[in-house]
Amino acid sequence: MTSLFLASCDGEKNELKTPCIENFNFVVDRFADVEILRYRVVGFENLTLQQKKFIYFLSQAALEGRDILFDQHGKYNLVIRRTLEAVFTNYAGDKNSQEFAHLTTYLKQVWMGNGIHHHHSADKFVPKFSESFFANAVNNLDSTLLPLADNQSVEEFIAKLTTVIFDPTVMPRRMNQTKGEDLVLTSTVNFYRGVTQAEAENFYNAMKNPNDARPVQFGLNSRLEKKPCRAELDSASPNDKEIAGQARNDSGLIENVWKIGGLYSEAIERIVYWLEKAVEFAENNSQKEIIRTLIDFYHTGCLAIFDEFSVLWVQDLESQIDFLNGFIESYSDPLGMKGSWEGLVNFRNPEATKRTELISRHAQWFEDNSPIAPEFKKDEVVGVSASVVTVAMLSGDCYPAAPLGINLPNSNWIRRDYGSKSVTLDNISEANNRVSLGNGFAEEFMWSELELERAKKYGSLTNTLLTDLHECLGHGSGKLLPGVDADALGVYGAPIEEARADLFALYYIADPKMLELGLLSNAEACKAQYYHYMMNGLMTQLTRIELGKNIEQAHMRNRQLVASWVFERGNLEVVELVERNGKCYMVIHDYERLRGLFAELLIEIQRVKSTGDFEAARNLVETYGVGVNQSLHAEVLERFGGLNLAPFRGFVNPVYTLVKDRSENIIDVQISYDENFVEQQLRYSRDFSTLPMFD
């Protein structure tokens, strides 16, 4: 990597587009609880022209899905975003006023959350500008700049949006996971219309065939709605009649499918337009078939075709460039079924991938030596592939907040029969790590110089290795028993699955195999990760939620579940919270026994997953993963506040520009990093805003 950094600084003409790390400005913006970073696309300049063109067109296809995610997150998000952008760009009043500054911050929060709810907590943003300022600002705009509905007056428009934006009782949470409540009716995510949780669960349960060894992911690409009555159908358009005809039982519900000719057609048509251009520059025939199959899925909305695409995609291990594009992760659905739209374009980092390939080659050894019960182990681990990649474009559910690693596909039978792909996003991790250096966080929360020294020496490496083990092996390990429904754990499925993958990684990061394979050079290194994980799970991740709140987000529930269960079982002999000078610190007394406790919990969570034990899953998550020690939470927030750090980070993408000769032939693709967060968001809204206003 060092040689790449140095090479990027060479040359008096500055022809290379990736700046050296010493001159690269990672931090772009700071607002509310968010810090915006940019990431470097190291190695782009070394790709062939064909590969650069391929990345460009895949990136365009990724960006076209932006509006879809906004609408999936809430039915008023597009109207609100477009209205706020109109005010921001056309406001004739004092732009130095406090009210305008508050509106600007709120707009940035909406961009960050892809809607009016926080990207992580799912709570609705509380605007600091006044209702009167908002009304006056909108009233003073040319009405043609506003996304008015047919026959809607500006006064009616303002009244509606004022209620949605300012009333804390209206659409308070994008996704609710509170035990005992109707999770569909109390969540405002736009995956269901007029449907209760019981109706949705019964609708999809009726579709499932327990004898189907290769079931599709029911509900993945549709909004579930009440079916129109006969009188409404008689006067409906042909398209509406087709949608109504998709009802698969007599429940009174229909699936409004996201496809060309269906819901989100305008955006999906543009996605397909760019995918068709990308096909021409694919690296090989396999890649062309993958893209064409994805295009078929977008035309038909057929989930069986999406499975065909996923099988082809997971088997493509030769291409250097790869991508995600579609309705994939279901974390935003309270029932864990509906896929949020996301896009990602990346290319393999060959040197760094040697590490993950080494892990993948030994996947069967890790499976065979796992502490879980033999009946839950895979007899043969197939298709486990892992790469370290350089991100070229983030979009949809990967943007502005970005993951550090991804393991797909999510279909259990595809993972069983064909395997999975794991990727570690190297340049996203790099940006996070660079900005975190010397920020005072570790010094504030770690117990002693010993933990600090381990963190400095091994923290970055073990963080990366834990991600590798989690994505490469953890998610791909174990198996469901025959006849167990992949959705048997319901709303608890996501935190249980993330805990399972974390525990697998935690168990093995301290295994002598890490030294044997050369992945770690010192047996002490794993202690840096153990300390960080337990400190985060018990204490420091609480910086990400408001005082008085419980934990809702699946990954946070997972981490607290693991840490709290281990803390309880250790009886203060393994892990202890110790007070010193009025502050609470975590102390680990016995790292070897800590590993044993991780193994015990892994054994139980694998049993829960493999058998579909819903009650055990609920007990684990609700007992250990949800509730928060409020006095400890208050202390953590006070200490963190003194550091003046942002608990969340988002990213801006680079800008790719086609260079053409006089005959309009593409002769290069240039990359630049000059665009800031506001400029990028406004450009995306201008260039990739295709969806109409939905009710």
Q: How many domains is the chain built from?
A: 2
What are 384-430's pLDDT values in tens digits?
888 999 999 999 999 999 999 999 999 999 999 999 999 999 999 99
The answer to whether residue 484 sits within a structural domain is yes
* Angle value at C-alpha 127, between 123 and 130, nearest 5 degrees: 150
Gap between the Cα atoms of 184 and 191, Å rounded:
9
Domain residues for the domain of 122 are 66-172+654-687
Do 639 and 534 fall within a single domain?
yes
Contacts of 211 (CB under 8 A, 6+ apart): none
SS3 559: helix
Do 518 and 666 fall within a single domain?
no
Cα distances (Å, whole numbers) of residue 304 to 29, 82, 123, 413, 430: 43, 36, 35, 12, 38
Asked if 322 contacts 389 with a C-beta cutoff of 8 angstroms, the reply is yes
The pTM (predicted TM-score) of the whole model is 0.88
Using the Cα atoms of residue 318, residue 320, residue 324 and residue 328 in order, give the sign of their dihedral. Answer: positive
The answer to whether residue 334 sits within a structural domain is no
Do 553 and 600 fall within a single domain?
yes
SS3 497: helix
pLDDT computed for residue 16 by the predictor: 37
List of the chain residues with pLDDT < 50: 1-17, 230-236, 238-249
The answer to whether residue 237 sits within a structural domain is no
pLDDT computed for residue 248 by the predictor: 44
* Angle value at C-alpha 477, between 473 and 479, nearest 5 degrees: 165
Do 556 and 585 fall within a single domain?
yes
The answer to whether residue 577 sits within a structural domain is yes
Do 550 and 659 fall within a single domain?
no
The answer to whether residue 481 sits within a structural domain is yes
The answer to whether residue 2 sits within a structural domain is no
Do 571 and 664 fall within a single domain?
no
pLDDT computed for residue 231 by the predictor: 43
Transcribe 191-257 into DSSP letters. Answer: TEES--HHHHHHHHHTT--TT-SS---TTTTEEEEEPPPHHHHHTS-HHHHHHHTT--SSSSEEEEE
pLDDT computed for residue 228 by the predictor: 65
Do 571 and 671 fall within a single domain?
no
Do 658 and 633 fall within a single domain?
no
The answer to whether residue 538 sits within a structural domain is yes
The answer to whether residue 119 sits within a structural domain is yes
Cα distances (Å, whole numbers) of residue 628 to 33, 539, 543, 563, 670: 20, 10, 12, 12, 49
Do 537 and 444 fall within a single domain?
yes
Do 501 and 475 fall within a single domain?
yes
Do 673 and 596 fall within a single domain?
no
pLDDT computed for residue 695 by the predictor: 63
Provide the residue type at 368 as one letter: D
Do 511 and 582 fall within a single domain?
yes
